Amino acid sequence: MEPLLKGTNLVKRYGKVTALDHCDFDLYPGEILAVIGDNGAGKSTLIKAISGAVIPDEGEIMLEGKPIRFSTPIEARAAGIETVYQTLAMSPALSIADNMFMGRELRAPGLMGSVFRKLDRPRMEKFAREKLNELGLMTIQNINQAVETLSGGQRQGVAVARAAAFGSKVVILDEPTAALGVKESRRVLELIRDVRSRGIPIILISHNMPHVFEVADRIHIHRLGKRLCVIKPGDYSMSDAVAFMTGAKLPEGVAEPA
Amino acid sequence: MEPLLKGTNLVKRYGKVTALDHCDFDLYPGEILAVIGDNGAGKSTLIKAISGAVIPDEGEIMLEGKPIRFSTPIEARAAGIETVYQTLAMSPALSIADNMFMGRELRAPGLMGSVFRKLDRPRMEKFAREKLNELGLMTIQNINQAVETLSGGQRQGVAVARAAAFGSKVVILDEPTAALGVKESRRVLELIRDVRSRGIPIILISHNMPHVFEVADRIHIHRLGKRLCVIKPGDYSMSDAVAFMTGAKLPEGVAEPA
Amino acid sequence: MTDAKTASSFEEGLKGASEKVAEFHEEKSQLKRLQHWLHQTPSAVPMIVLMVALLVFGVLAENFFKAGTLSVILQQIAIVGILGCAQTIVILTAGIDLSVGAIAVFSSVLMGQATFRYGVPAEIAIVIGLILGTAMGAVNGLLIAKMKLPPFIATLGTWQILLAANFIFSANETIRSSDIAATAPALQFWGGSIQPGGIKILYAVFLMIALVAIMSYVLRSTAWGRHVYATGDDPQAAELAGVPTGKVLIQVYALAGFFCAVAGWVMIGRFGSVSPTASTGQLGNIQSITAVVIGGISLFGGRGSIVGMFFGALIVGVFEMGLRLVGTDPQWTFFLIGVLIIFAVAVDQWIRKVAS
Amino acid sequence: MTDAKTASSFEEGLKGASEKVAEFHEEKSQLKRLQHWLHQTPSAVPMIVLMVALLVFGVLAENFFKAGTLSVILQQIAIVGILGCAQTIVILTAGIDLSVGAIAVFSSVLMGQATFRYGVPAEIAIVIGLILGTAMGAVNGLLIAKMKLPPFIATLGTWQILLAANFIFSANETIRSSDIAATAPALQFWGGSIQPGGIKILYAVFLMIALVAIMSYVLRSTAWGRHVYATGDDPQAAELAGVPTGKVLIQVYALAGFFCAVAGWVMIGRFGSVSPTASTGQLGNIQSITAVVIGGISLFGGRGSIVGMFFGALIVGVFEMGLRLVGTDPQWTFFLIGVLIIFAVAVDQWIRKVAS
Amino acid sequence: QTSACLITKTDTNPFFVKMKEGAEAKAAELGVTLKSYAGRIDGDHESQVAAVEACVADGAKGILIAASDTKAIVDSVAAARAAGVLVIALDTPLDPIDAADVTFATDNFQAGLLIGQWANATLGADAANAKIALLDLSIAQPSVDVLRDQGFLQGMGIDLADPNKWGDETDPRIVGNEVTSGNEEGGLKAMEALLAKDPDINVVYTINEPSAAGAFEALKAAGKENVLIVSVDGGCPGVQDVKDGVIGATSQQYPLQMAALGVAAIAQFAADGTKPAPTEGKAFFDTGVALITDKPVDGVESIDTTKGMELCWG
Ligand SMILES: Nc1ncnc2c1ncn2[C@@H]1O[C@H](COP(=O)(O)OP(=O)(O)OP(=O)(O)O)[C@@H](O)[C@H]1O
Ligand SMILES: Nc1ncnc2c1ncn2[C@@H]1O[C@H](COP(=O)(O)OP(=O)(O)OP(=O)(O)O)[C@@H](O)[C@H]1O
Ligand SMILES: [Mg+2]
Ligand SMILES: [Mg+2]
């Protein structure tokens, strides 16, 4: 099977810091690919390079076999790649519903919508509320609350709900459960499975090993700016994975770079 | 034993939203108190009320038996209460060392320091580097990097290192391991124990049940803006705790409010 | 694989978790409601300040509360109000446009000279002026969105450039009102008026109110309006969330340029003549920014409503007229307007604080 | 208790985890180093623009590269440079001070009138002027820090108030240079000069350079300086991290007021006379902001260096003088300075982009 | 109680400050209520339009206006007159001149012409290779600015090119034009720049006396205290400067007289509806202009500074 999304030799430098160091990457159709690694290993930079949020200095990215070169996240979104960034990317002063539909607002039916381009607020609010309920975010008391007034976890929930609702080709989640409670995390994992069952592959960055081993089909282990190896959760224990990503052990057939 | 820090009947409203609803709170000397609860339950608001970052609408806070009323976090810090906020509270454009010493900078020895008020950069940098190494944040390549260039986890690490290094009476950590990797989380837990062994009590907010049950002496379960109950990790299982905080079960002797 | 199961074993506690949406009882006192309303309605505070100002001057100056006086106030703020529409959308994107006045004056000169120097029919001259004004705004937008210049510096530059170009192009020549009335009355269109019951209300006033109403709708109820807010709120986040911030910025500045050109056309109607030295070129930016800020719109972008700007412009207009009627000396007028700017915004901040 | 152990069992994998600090090989090419240096040194780009401007005008205008011309440029920017010091610290806190010019002019009037109207000895009059200037700045600070007014609006208000107060207090009276020289030469102190090799350099120029140097040190190497940056960078975060942002803001505006009063004193030396109508009152704010922004300091606070401001002021001075020497008409000079402001900042942005 | 309005170009220029004082004194004497207005900057006719509207709304009997833009103000003046208000143009005639009921004005072109002729005659044969610096008001070139500058050049015998614009002359004797905002600071900076361009400047025209004082500071610093400076206005400090030799000659105007005449005319109009008549043979009531210098030359009528000090306006 051909990878749906493929990165080769990606390099990204920030001044003195090399965040991606000739990194490779593959995502196959319909799979959940987890990406794990130390803090600062370059995971977020990797997915930013894929989603158009940063432009890699070197290397090539292919989507469905065709080389792509996104220069903005909007292009990636248009190509069906939906991302939850670690920084969440929300407009603090706008409401939850506004944020969820940012860039793909619904217009009112009839003349008001087509000529006067009026937003369909009630429909957007209803949809937003439904998606949040699916995630179990019951403590959100007011769907018109500004996002800046939400708790850390509530914000995370809104971002995840947005990506899951709109992703059509790839959904990328950068630590989606980091700020979430037990109940809400569980819902996100269910949601991830749900998205996969719609045939959409998912890239999941997480530091939560139990979660990773529970849902991932393959695990991409990132170390010092590059892919160290890819493992299947069935073949290795969590302990092995942790050992690989922290440099305590080396997987077979891989040599630590000098 | 008298509580070191005691809150009674704390109320905080944000417009239509009631974040704290007549909440009580106790912290005893030398203990690690975990605070758990759903997203949006009001945990962060509670610790903000204690650390002077928000002023509660009602209720009273006592430190060592004396009523206190901080109107800024600076006053709380001066009283020895050091906090890592969920939003981290760092100046993005300044360096790691600058951020760690913000508000308590070291001055150079001799005339340069006393008359010309020159900062002792080398000493501050050395100290910062040491504290980060203690946390195992080895991927930070340059101690003079601006904080905005750090990865999410690295930032979290810097904030935790700052609080642990300077807290003298109470250290408050709001989800300190949320963005951290396995290795780094472990270090933080060790650091928490370390701080306690210096006799300083700690308030730890976390959604990570294994961590909470591992280090906490007591667990404050927060639900719908108030303290539902306080349990000892030895007396209940994680499952019970989760059931309490999500409302699946009620602890003995507590009635769910109408 | 086994420990995955175990690790999550504590999640069994989730079974039967409450699905209740959090609800707290709310105090429904009148005061609380008022506070909530003040908090929710960014234009409420300037409106209250305006009411108070009207009352005070009504008492102090005998001729103030005449329909004639009030209609004069409206016509005096028409131009600032239209420039304020331009300034509002720019400031909502966390920008600032120092060139608004210069674009307005230059556009009016272009319309006038196209007619009188080059003999273009007035209607076409107006269209040319509007297009060129829009283009000037678009240049601002390009500098800011594409070349990433800070808006303050980009528009500071274009302000100087356009003002100088205006003087050079016009050769400092004022076109007289009587000539315009004779040859190109279309240029003076907005100076026309209706006179219900003898009180003269300029078309320009209706235009200003219509523009405020339209923009209020656009900003609140269309996707584009939301994008403007998002761009000003946190441009990086907006970009990541799928707002084409660059495009939005260019559109915003171009639209602002268009409004300025409209203001230029209105200036011809209001003053009768076309004068390159009109002080709007120098002061239009500060005046419009003052209206915007008194109207409660944040200079850091993303917060506020255009209706607030309208009240802001009115507040300034009422103060100026009121002080004139009371007979204050010009320097004292400037002094008091300074005091009142600070006072108006301080009251605004205070009410917000009390209400929050 | 048991599952706590199990849950963390995978952490066994941590044993022997690498303790290596990440290190990547670095390209050490000259170009890379240059880029890195440009990136690290915010004042480098304005310096380069300045060099280029000097070269270009050196070629275009024959009288340009004379020591006399260069010293005239320095003395022409002395006042803007000192106001720029005030503006820089304010802008670093994400504020803006529109009242700098008004404080400077009013302070100079206060010094002059204290001596001539009230007969205070000149030295004491200067101290009074400096204290009152500082107080005016402190009022700005109080409005901004305590009453939470946006800096733009607070200083817009005080600008108008101070300028009007200046005219009212002075009764528009100019104190003549010859009177000052006869009775109160201390007022004209900064107009004195040294003349090494016949080239006249004003004391005012040395004062400006000294102020820039001192503030550069203070901002970079003292805790207070770091607090100024932190306050501008993210005030909420700074407050939570233990910076007394309110106090810092008041100090910053008060210090800015002090610098403005110093500029007022320098104005007397430089112009000889004390005039309430000095253009600095109207234009000092825009001029100083221009210098700051061309110098690469972010209007959003927290980024940039005061040395950049100095180069920014010099760039404007060089352009103005160069264009005059080339023989440009004043209207075209105005036009070209607009172009060059945009150009200078565009080059700055471009170099930053290429270097990052 | 008769009420009247005085609208000046700005109220920071001492010229208009004194005009206002004169009007106030006369108003107090005649029992007229006087309200004053001003533009914010030179050339600001918009504030003047707003002021006219305020006066009409306020029921004023008459308006005294020193117009910033002589054409642009005409419509609002017409509206005021239609409302039965007497409008008197002060200092600057409107365009067309009959837009106002009557005009009490100085001839600014004449003022420039006098100092030009004086400079030309003083230089004598050297006039042919003079080096002239022109310190004007602002790049907006309001009408006073143009009239004085062009009058001066005419007096010097220089071709004006477009007489409605300064700066388009090509005579090689002109070193350059600079703008000063009419104050010391502007005069100083402009002079410094022109000296850098050509250190041999020997004639300096200035828009008014404060800018002349600034220019003198620059010349003094450059060790060129013998340069011929000419100016316009005739304020007391300016006449003093002529006396001290700082300024060679200045054209004096009479703002107090204009204002007092204006207020009196309004009081008269309020009393019996009569309007004042213009000077014989002119379209306006000329309040006159006199050249003040202590170095009179043949062919240009002038008065000395002692007389000038008696007539000066503050
Ligand atoms: N804008 C930037 N400028 C400079 N350095 C950067 C920038 N962004 C990231 N870095 C550096 O690149 C490295 C990789 O960062 P990245 O955010 O990709 O890590 P990560 O693997 O996502 O870490 P975490 O798990 O903590 O989120 C880090 O060392 C970081 O300091
Ligand atoms: N500034 C604010 N304005 C309005 N509402 C707020 C504000 N801050 C918090 N809230 C609301 O108060 C409630 C409690 O928020 P808080 O941040 O204390 O939750 P939390 O328990 O810390 O949640 P999490 O675990 O997700 O961090 C939430 O419903 C939130 O939306
Ligand atoms: Mg990351
Ligand atoms: Mg929280």
CA distance linking residue E69 with residue E44, whole number of Å: 8
pLDDT at C134: 98
* pLDDT cut 70: percent of chain C above it: 91
The answer to whether B248 contacts chain D (CB < 8 Å) is no
Q: Which of E13, E167, E186 sits opposite D279 (nearest CB)?
A: E186
Tell which wins on pLDDT, D32 or B190: B190
What's the gap in Å between D188 CA and the centre of ligand 3? Answer: 61
C-beta neighbour count of C339 within 10 angstroms: 16
Among candidates E47, A104, A48, which has minimal Cα distance to C333? E47
Does domain B5-246 sit in CATH 3.40.50.300?
yes
Which of the 8 DSSP states describes residue B63?
Answer: E
Report the nearest-CA residue for atom 9 of ligand 2: A149
| Contact check, Cβ <8 Å, C271/E141 | no
Report the nearest-CA residue for atom 3 of ligand 1: B149
The answer to whether B68 contacts chain C (CB < 8 Å) is no
Q: Which of E12, E139, E241 sits opposite D172 (nearest CB)?
A: E12
Residues 6+ away with beta carbon under 8 Å from E16? E8, E9, E10, E38, E66, E255
Q: Residue C147 is encoded by which pair of tokens?
A: 């070349």
Split at pLDDT 50, 70, 90, the class of C329 is confident
* CB < 8 Å to D7, chain A: 210
Q: What angle do CA E222, E227, E232 make, to 5 degrees?
A: 115
Burial class (CB in 10 A: 0-12, 13-18, 19+), C119: exposed
The model's pLDDT over B22-44, given as tens digits with 9 standing for 90+, comes to: 999 999 999 999 999 988 899 99
Reported pTM: 0.89
| 3-state secondary structure (DSSP) of residue C45 | helix
CA distance linking residue C142 with residue C253, whole number of Å: 9
C-beta neighbour count of C58 within 10 angstroms: 14
pLDDT at D355: 59
Tell which wins on pLDDT, D16 or D52: D52
Q: Which of C147, C300, C341, C351 to mutate to test the interface with D (most CBs of D within 10 A)?
A: C341
Among candidates C248, C288, C284, which has minimal Cα distance to C103? C284
Tell which wins on pLDDT, D197 or D148: D148
pLDDT at A131: 85
Report the nearest-CA residue for atom 27 of ligand 1: B152
pLDDT at D3: 41
Residues contacting ligand 1 via CB (< 6 Å): A 14-15, 17, 19, 37, 39-45, 86; B 139, 149-154, 179, 181
Residues 6+ away with beta carbon under 8 Å from D186? D122, D123, D126
Burial class (CB in 10 A: 0-12, 13-18, 19+), B95: buried
CA distance linking residue C155 with residue B172, whole number of Å: 47
What's the gap in Å between A175 CA and the centre of ligand 3? Answer: 8
The model's pLDDT over D312-347, given as tens digits with 9 standing for 90+, comes to: 999 989 988 888 888 788 888 889 889 988 888 888
What's the gap in Å between B42 CA and the centre of ligand 2? Answer: 6
Q: Which of B21, B210, B248 sits opposite C18 (nearest CB)?
A: B248
Q: Which regions of chain E are under pLDDT 50?
A: none
pLDDT at D7: 47
**Does the pLDDT at position D308 exceed 80?**
yes
| Contact check, Cβ <8 Å, C17/B243 | yes
Q: Which of D221, D240, D298 to mutate to test the interface with B (most CBs of B within 10 A)?
A: D240
The model's pLDDT over C274-328, given as tens digits with 9 standing for 90+, comes to: 999 888 998 899 999 989 988 888 888 888 899 999 999 999 899 888 888 887 8
* CB < 8 Å to E165, chain C: 171-172
Instruction: Decide whether any atom of ligand 2 lies within 6 Å of the B43 Cβ.
Output: yes
| Contact check, Cβ <8 Å, A15/D36 | yes
Q: Which of A22, A58, A219, A224 to mutate to test the interface with D (most CBs of D within 10 A)?
A: A224
| 3-state secondary structure (DSSP) of residue A83 | strand
Where exactly are the structural domains of chain D? 45-348
Q: Which regions of chain A are under pLDDT 70?
A: 137-141, 255-258
Average pLDDT of chain C, as a whole number = 87
C-beta neighbour count of B142 within 10 angstroms: 12
Average pLDDT of chain E, as a whole number = 90
pLDDT at A177: 87
CA distance linking residue E46 with residue E73, whole number of Å: 8
* Closest chain A residue to the Cα of D7, Cα to Cα: A210
Q: Which regions of chain B are under pLDDT 50?
A: 258
* CB < 8 Å to A119, chain C: 221-223, 226
* CB < 8 Å to D234, chain B: 90-92
C-D Cβ pairs (cutoff 8 Å, strict): 132
β-partners of residue B220 are B35, B230
| Contact check, Cβ <8 Å, D13/A15 | no
pLDDT at E58: 86
* CB < 8 Å to D9, chain C: 3
Where exactly are the structural domains of chain B? 5-246
**Does the pLDDT at position D6 exceed 50?**
no
Q: Is the ipTM of this complex over 0.90?
A: no
One-character DSSP codes across E117-157: HHHHHHHGGGGGG--EEEEES-TT--HHHHHHHHHHHHHHT
Split at pLDDT 50, 70, 90, the class of D197 is confident
Q: What is the dihedral of CA C81, C83, C88, C90, to 10 degrees?
A: 180
Split at pLDDT 50, 70, 90, the class of C19 is low
| Contact check, Cβ <8 Å, D335/C164 | yes
D-E Cβ pairs (cutoff 8 Å, strict): 96
How far CA B213 is from CA of A207, C108, D3, D259, in Å, comes to 19, 74, 9, 59
- Rounded average pLDDT over D48-59: 88
- What string of H, E and C letters represents the secondary structure of chain D? CHHHHHHCHHHHHHCCCCCCCCCCCCCCCHHHHHHHHHHHCCCHHHHHHHHHHHHHHHHHCCCCCCHHHHHHHHHHHHHHHHHHHHHHHHHHCCCCCCCHHHHHHHHHHHHHHHHHCCCCCHHHHHHHHHHHHHHHHHHHHHHHHCCCCCHHHHHHHHHHHHHHHHHHHHCCCCECHHHHHHHCHHHHHHHCEECHHHCCEEHHHHHHHHHHHHHHHHHHHCHHHHHHHHHHHCHHHHHHCCCCHHHHHHHHHHHHHHHHHHHHHHHHHHHCCECCCCCHHHHHHHHHHHHHHHCCCCCCCCCCCHHHHHHHHHHHHHHHHHHHHHCCCHHHHHHHHHHHHHHHHHHHHHHHHHHC
* Closest chain E residue to the Cα of D332, Cα to Cα: E139
* CB < 8 Å to D75, chain E: 192
The model's pLDDT over D84-132, given as tens digits with 9 standing for 90+, comes to: 999 999 999 999 999 999 999 999 999 999 999 999 999 999 999 999 9
CA distance linking residue A242 with residue A225, whole number of Å: 16
Crossing angle for the helix pair D100-116 and D245-271, to the nearest 10 degrees: 60
Neighbours of chain A (3+ CB pairs under 8 A): B, C, D
Instruction: Decide whether any atom of ligand 2 lies within 6 Å of the B19 Cβ.
Output: yes
- Ligand showing the shortest atom-to-Cα distance for residue B85: 4
Report the nearest-CA residue for atom 31 of ligand 2: A150
**D161-200 exposure pattern, b = at least 16 Cβ within 10 A, e = fewer:** bbbbbbbebbebbbbbbbbbeeebebbbbbbebeeeeeeb
